Amino acid sequence: MLKEERFQVILDRLGQEQKVYLGRLSALLNVSEDTIRRDIKELADQGLLKSVRGGAVPHSPGPHHFRDRMSHDKEQKQIIAVKALDFLKDGQVVVFDGGTSALLIAQSLPKDLHITVVTNSFPIVSLLEEHEHVEVLFAGGRLLKNSFVTIGNDTVQFFKKFRPDICLLGICSIHTELGVTGPDFEESEVKRAMIESSKEVIALATLEKLGTAEAYYVCPTDNLSVIVTDQSSDYEEFDVYKEKGIRMV
């Protein structure tokens, strides 16, 4: 029996059931479980299914939905979130960026904090639902379906109307020379507006973001007041920022 035939059988079954087991397939096709396992691995590499312990399940395709990206760096980002909370005080007006870093901060926000939140992110609003003492100002604009933030000129103009105390800025890439950059033009525009209107910018960056750059320019590193990262140990790179008067946490 050809390997391709087994592939077909496996995929057919997955088309009908929601799962396949190593043992069953092994018995059905008269090969060892190892073989089936290798088959599944190969199919998984092609993205045709998802290999799981004990078998396989249909691969849920589709481009990165908002929910998926959340799990990525979660530990590191959670660490960052906790550190960043120290900067928030009662009475402040705070901008929350649309990224997942800021989202985790919103998630950890104490219920008794009295602040005004300015944001363009629906998930943030959703999380702040229960916080009675948080006033929310939402930036209008065109809705970006996959990340649930608003963008465009309206959004930019909205941020320009305020003078918030703090901006919690999720960082895609940051580089000592090239400054802060991001992968999307319109989101970069919005970030820039947030930054320029705020008195103080707190950058939220996992270590892997440091020293990288992307296509669209957001702002120079000078605009940042604080960079919050997930590691306490010192890197040489930290010193470059410190010399610029940026506080590293």
Residues forming the site for DNA (CB under 7 A): 1, 3, 6, 22, 30-35, 37-39, 41, 51-55
Q: Which is nearer to DNA, 54 or 220 (CB)?
A: 54
How many other C-beta atoms are found inside a 10 Å radius of the C-beta of residue 41? Answer: 11
SS3 at position 149: strand
Quick check: 240 binds a second copy (CB under 8 A)? no
Quick check: 66 binds a second copy (CB under 8 A)? yes
Smallest distance, a second copy to C-beta of residue 23, A: 11
* Rounded Cα–Cα distance for residues 200 and 198 (Å): 6
In this structure, which long-range contacts are made by residues 233-236, counting pairs with CB atoms below 8 Å and at least 24 apart in sequence?
235/207, 235/210
What is the DSSP-derived secondary structure letter of residue 223?
G
Contact partner at residue 98 from DNA, a second copy, none, CB < 5 to 8 Å by partner kind: none
How many other C-beta atoms are found inside a 10 Å radius of the C-beta of residue 187? Answer: 23
DSSP per-residue letters across 2-24: -HHHHHHHHHHHHHHSS-EEHHH
Residues 121-140 that bind a second copy (CB under 8 A): 122-123, 125-127, 129, 132, 135-140
Angle at CA 243, nearest 5°, toward 240 and 249? 75
Q: What string marks each residue from 105 to 124 as x (binds a second copy by CB under 8 A) or -?
A: -----------------xx-
Residues 189-228 that bind a second copy (CB under 8 A): none
Tallying the residues shown for the chain, one arrives at: 249
With contact defined as beta carbons under 8 Å apart, do 71 and 65 qualify?
Answer: no
| Binding span for a second copy by CB under 8 A among 25-33, 44-52, 163-171, 235-243 | 44-52
Q: What string marks each residue from 158 to 187 as x (binds a second copy by CB under 8 A) or -?
A: x--x--------------------------
- Can you give the binding site for a second copy, defined by CB under 8 A? 2-5, 8, 18-19, 21, 45-48, 52-55, 57, 60-68, 70-71, 74, 103, 122-123, 125-127, 129, 132, 135-143, 145, 148, 150, 154-155, 158, 161
